């Protein structure tokens, strides 16, 4: 596992360096991947991303205070894309952290969300926002295992975030570029690690991917055995944009107000 760069701001390629290290670590974990091994590796990846973000924020802080806070969840009503490893890890986390009754309720919420959002692109999802099925009382009920995109989303203006919901025109949401780019790098590293071992690295729509993964008692084993197929959850438009250095959710597409 690579270390967080000690002088990130002086190294304009710190995201690329981080991304390459994460790709190597995830690729190495793919041999004989189990749910536990994935959980351990993703835990380290989340930790490294978080510590890198802290270091960079200390050295090169955003120009304006970040408005994100507990209970503010406008961005949890928009399109979220995940890589296969994120979907597998999140599904396994739910399976291992919920009682059978709770898990049944989660599955029902995920299925309802998928029924409502299947096949809808980023613009349609922005126009008709819908809470993420994991959002409970305006808080993420799977915060520890939340996707990279959720970790990268941030804003210095919560009112602007709210006005994105249902907007038909672009809305400026000033946000901290370093945070977005760190976690965007993780998305690319995760997809590349999957590609490295010859599996499909598609970017997936969260609701559909979770529904598929949660239909297995051990989604990681099923995926490794070729029994779990994420193809129906593929985000076609996002897959095309995967090589770009920015997130491409509806939220991010309108996110033109970099504050650093
Ligand atoms: S996974 Fe959690 S943080 Fe991400 S959109 Fe859903 S509720 Fe929000």
Percent of the chain beyond pLDDT 70? 86
For ligand 1, the distance from its centroid to the CA atom of residue 13, given in whole angstroms, is: 29
pLDDT, one tens digit per residue, over 37-77 is 999 999 999 999 999 999 999 999 999 999 999 999 999 99
Q: Is 136 helix (H, G, I), strand (E, B) or coil?
A: strand
Closest-CA residue to 242 (of 171, 178, 190, 175): 190
Q: Which residue's alpha carbon is nearest to atom 8 within ligand 1?
A: 76
Rounded CA separation 202/240 (Å): 10
Q: Specify the pTM.
A: 0.88
Residue 190 to residue 221: CA distance in whole angstroms: 18
Asked if residue 150 has its Cβ within 6 Å of ligand 1, the reply is: yes
Instruction: Measure the N-to-C terminal CA separation of the chain; round to a whole number of Å.
Output: 28
Distance of CA 71 to the CA centre of its chain: 19
- List the domain boundaries for the chain: 64-185+197-258
CA of 150 to the centre of ligand 1 (A): 6
Any bridge partners for residue 257, and if so which?
Answer: 174
134 lines ligand 1 (CB under 6 A): yes
Q: Which residue CA neighbors atom 4 of ligand 1 most closely?
A: 150
Predicted confidence (pLDDT) per residue in 213-238, tens digit: 999 999 999 999 999 999 999 996 75
**CB–CB of 207/113 below 8 Å?**
yes
Mean pLDDT confidence for 116-135: 94
């Amino acid at each position: 596992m690579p270390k967080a760069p000690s002088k990130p701001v002086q190294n304009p390629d710190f995201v690329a360096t981080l991304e390459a290290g994460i790709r190597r670590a995830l690729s190495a974990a793919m041999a004989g991947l189990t749910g536990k091994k994935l959980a351990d590796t993703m835990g380290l990846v989340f930790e490294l991303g978080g510590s890198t973000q802290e270091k960079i924020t200390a050295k090169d802080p955003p120009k304006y205070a970040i408005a994100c806070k507990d209970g503010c969840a406008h961005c949890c009503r928009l399109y979220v894309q995940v890589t296969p490893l994120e979907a597998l890890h999140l599904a396994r986390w739910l399976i291992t952290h919920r009682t059978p009754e709770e898990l049944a309720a989660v599955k029902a919420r995920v299925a309802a969300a998928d029924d409502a959002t299947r096949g809808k692109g980023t613009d349609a999802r922005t126009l008709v926002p819908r809470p993420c099925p994991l959002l409970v009382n305006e808080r993420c009920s799977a915060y520890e295992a939340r996707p990279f995109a959720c970790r990268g989303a941030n804003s210095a203006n919560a009112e602007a975030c709210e006005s994105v919901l249902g907007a038909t025109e672009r809305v400026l949401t000033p946000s901290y570029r370093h945070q977005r780019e760190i976690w965007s790098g993780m998305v690319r590293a995760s997809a590349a690690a999957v590609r490295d071992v010859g599996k499909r690295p598609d970017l997936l729509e969260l609701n559909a991917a979770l529904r598929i993964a949660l239909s297995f008692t051990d989604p990681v084993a099923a995926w490794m055995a070729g029994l779990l197929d994420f193809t129906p959850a593929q985000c076609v438009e996002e897959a095309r944009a995967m090589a770009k250095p920015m997130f491409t959710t509806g939220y991010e597409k309108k996110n033109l107000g970099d504050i650093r």
